[in-house]
Each structure stands twice: as C-alpha cells, then as structure tokens.
Amino acid sequence: MLTSLQNPLIKQIRKLHSTKERHKQQLFLLEGTHLLEEACAVNYPLVTVCCTSQWQAAHASLWEQACSRSERAEIVSGEVLSAIATTVQPDGVVATAKRSNYFSQVPINGIVLALETVQDPGNLGTIIRTAAAAGASGLWLSGDSVDLDNPKVLRASAGQWFRLTTAISEDLKATVQLCQRSGMQVVATLPSATLTYWEVDWRKPSLILLGNEGAGLSADLATMADKQVKIPLSPGVESLNVAIAAALMLYEAQRQKSQGSRERITSNS
C-alpha cells in the first residue's frame, strides 16, 4: 500500500491537476467509480489505477477489469487518494489514461455540434452528455476552448465522454467549409435571427454552431451559416445557457427524425 505523499508516482499524479502538466505528461485523470466503469466498458486503455482497500473490497470485479487494462495498479491510503483526486469527497478510486488523438475525424453525417471558445468545463461536459443521449454523431471543439479531458468535463459528462466522437478543430472556419462541401447544412444560433430553431429541417445532415458563454458566436462563423436561428425568449431574458441551447436543438432534431420515421411506418402499413 502506498501511504506517502512523497512517493514518485503519487507526486506525478498530483501534478495532473494542472492543465500544463496534463499536456506535458500527455495524461488525464479519471475520478470515481462511474467514470472507471464507462472507461472499462469501452476498453479505454488506462495507465495507472489507484484505489483504497475499502474500494477494492467493494468493487472486486471492476478492480480486476481496471487492472487488466492498466499498466500499473496500486492500493493507496485514504490520505493519498484524497491528495490525488480533484474532488472534495472522492469515492475511493482515481485512474490516469493517455490523452486521446483529438484531431481524429468527426463523422460528417447526422447531427454534429461545433463549439467555439466554450470555457466552462461544466457546460462542455453537459453538452457531451446531452449530445450522446440525443444520438448526435459527434462534436468539434475549437482549440481555444476548455480542454476536452479537463476532470470537470469528464465528470459533467457522466461517462458519456467515452461514447461520443469528439475532436479539436484548430480552424473552425475550415471545419465548417469541409462540412458544407460534404453536403451538411450549417446552422448558427443568433438572438437576432428571424427563424426559430424548430423551423429548420433537422432531418438533413446538420452542423450546429454554438459560441462562447459570454460573447456568443463570432461574426466570422455566423456569416458562414446556411441558416441562422434563434431560441424564442420571454421579454427581459437575455440569453440561455449554451448547454441548454444545445439540448433544445438536439432534441428538436431527434423529434423530427422520430416523427418522420413514424410517418413512414404509417404510410407503409
């Protein structure tokens, strides 16, 4: 059992609380039973798994799975576990994993999100969770946004981080052009738009552009959109949270596709 905070492995993992160190070590943190379960469910390769003896006894099967997928597994004291976790009350397990190749290609079909300069990790994690739940094909994130593997992003995604294709776009304009050339309609969210989001035909392959929490979508990207839409708001309400805006459009797309499927079934019966 590792009990010293000066242990080299423990010192290395504690450094991963820092964005700079996550980039330097090319590792990120997985905290908690649920995230570890989701990582194992999709066979995500782990580097190190650390847990308390109490957690190991309560989760013997998951511990075995995690050990088989990791390069190193250690039992640690409660004090050490608390030190390597970023949460106030960790549930007994922390793992590290290699940062993914976030420059992989997001599918150019179905419904895809493109997020510009999103800074709040809770917002990004919630959007990932919602996109996975609504059946989105993937998500592009601008390079100046919060890290995809920020610990708070993973926790807010409730494990769906592992089930949605995501990628970093260092040039969202080029990404938009790529999607347009591939036949996707590009839809921008703007409070000044005349169309509402439910007036769009979401049955078509679509790229949804969403902007920064405070500044919104940049003019450069907004003007590239094939359609600009708004979410109707009551008088005196300035805007909606970006994660809520994403959810509304994703589920409107799901509703339209589901309705179209039912209509086809009815017409063929």
* C-alpha dihedral sign at 17, 22, 37, 246: positive
Domain for residue 1, yes or no?
no
Residues 117 and 38 in one domain: no
* C-alpha dihedral sign at 14, 145, 239, 126: negative
pLDDT at 114 over 80: yes
Domain for residue 3, yes or no?
no
Domain for residue 103, yes or no?
no
pLDDT band of residue 262 (cuts 50, 70, 90) is low
Number of domains making up the chain: 2
Angle among Cα 235, 239, 244 to the nearest 5 degrees reads: 120
Cα(78)–Cα(88) distance, rounded to whole angstroms? 13
pLDDT at 263 over 70: no
Residues 188 and 241 in one domain: yes
pLDDT band of residue 267 (cuts 50, 70, 90) is very low
Residues 259 and 140 in one domain: yes
Q: What is the pLDDT of residue 103?
A: 67
pLDDT band of residue 261 (cuts 50, 70, 90) is low
Cα(117)–Cα(131) distance, rounded to whole angstroms? 18
The per-residue pLDDT for range 164-183, each reduced to its tens digit, is 999 999 999 999 999 999 99
Q: Which residue has the higher pLDDT, 52 or 105?
A: 52
The per-residue pLDDT for range 225-258, each reduced to its tens digit, is 999 999 999 988 888 899 999 999 999 999 999 9
Domain for residue 104, yes or no?
no
Residues 67 and 125 in one domain: no
**Three-state SS at 95:** strand
Q: What is the pLDDT of residue 269?
A: 38
Residues 93 and 141 in one domain: no
The per-residue pLDDT for range 134-144, each reduced to its tens digit, is 999 999 999 99
The pLDDT > 70 percentage for the chain reads 96
User: Chain-wide mean pLDDT for the chain?
Assistant: 93
Nearest C-alpha neighbor of 52 from the set 16, 82, 14, 10 = 82
Domain for residue 144, yes or no?
yes
pLDDT band of residue 32 (cuts 50, 70, 90) is very high
Residues 81 and 143 in one domain: no
The position carrying tokens 């949270």 is 241
The CATH number covering residue 56 comes to 3.30.1330.30
Domain hosting 38: range is 8-98
Residues 244 and 173 in one domain: yes
Q: What is the pLDDT of residue 107?
A: 86
Residues 123 and 172 in one domain: yes
Query: Which letter, b or e, does each residue of 128-145 get, where b requires 16 or more Cβ atoms within 10 Å of its Cβ?
Result: bbbbbbbebbbbbbbeeb
Nearest C-alpha neighbor of 180 from the set 93, 231, 108, 95 = 108
Helix and strand counts by DSSP (H, E) for the chain? 11, 11
Q: Which residue has the higher pLDDT, 266 or 113?
A: 113
Q: What is the pTM of this model?
A: 0.92
Say which DSSP state 99 is in. Answer: P
Residue 111, CA distances (Å) to 20, 68, 84, 120, 265 in order: 33, 35, 37, 22, 22
Element (H, E) at 59: none
* Mean pLDDT within 14-32: 96
**Structural Rg of the chain based on CA atoms:** 21
